[in-house]
Amino acid sequence: MSDGVKYIFRTIFKVPIIILVVYAIFNVFAFSLTYFRLLGFSYVVMQTAVENNYIPPEEMNTLNKYLQSITDNGVVGDAEIVIRNEEDASILPADRRRQYGSPVTVGVKAQYKFIWPLTPKEQLNNTSGGFIGYGSNTRSFSGYASTSTLEARRKALEDNKNNNINITYTVIGLKYYSDLN
């Protein structure tokens, strides 16, 4: 094989690899930054719960505003403040007041969306084996999913969030409320 052809083949392999490596580095950076920001934020959420035994509505609004400000980008989705203990139903949700010493589970969870080249924005499994498309143009191409089908699939994915960042704490409230038993 001549050097010219070798060079072409080398370039063909090298360029996608370089692109993938660059994306990988970007993902490592973006994931780390997101994780550390959410980690810092989770401490604030925890401290708010310890100080009040729960997260009062005003504080919740402020915390949500800040959470939105740090997750309002293309790589983070479904970020929310955790107020329920999924494993122990005996612990009240953190939006309800309780007395000194009661446990409260709080934290933050979010989905980091890894960014790769040529990744479609919306990846919905096509269970029928046909094409996936937008709109209700089902007359011309029977393989397209209708709007309602797409909506149903989106809803199904929303209900099964894959939050790959989940930082929660179960702590006790350290405030005595004279109006509670």
Residue closer to another protein by CB (options 123, 178) is: 178
Euclidean distance between CA atoms 77 and 75, whole angstroms? 7
Euclidean distance between CA atoms 111 and 166, whole angstroms? 9
Residue 26 near another protein by CB under 8 A: no
Helices (H) and strands (E) counted in the chain, each on its own, are: 3, 3
Among 49, 63, 106, 110, binds another protein (CB under 8 A): 63
Instruction: Report DSSP state, residue 55.
Output: -
**Site mask, another protein, residues 65-84, x = CB under 8 A?**
-x--xx--------------
Name which of 78, 88, 50 is nearest 171 in CA terms: 50
C-alpha 61, offset from chain centre: 19
Among 29, 116, 134, 141, binds another protein (CB under 8 A): 29
Contacting range for another protein; rule: CB under 8 A; set: 2-10, 15-23, 31-39, 141-149? 31-39
Q: Which residues bind to another protein, rule: CB under 8 A?
A: 29, 32-33, 36-37, 39-41, 43-44, 47-48, 52, 56, 58-59, 61-63, 66, 69-70, 97, 177-180
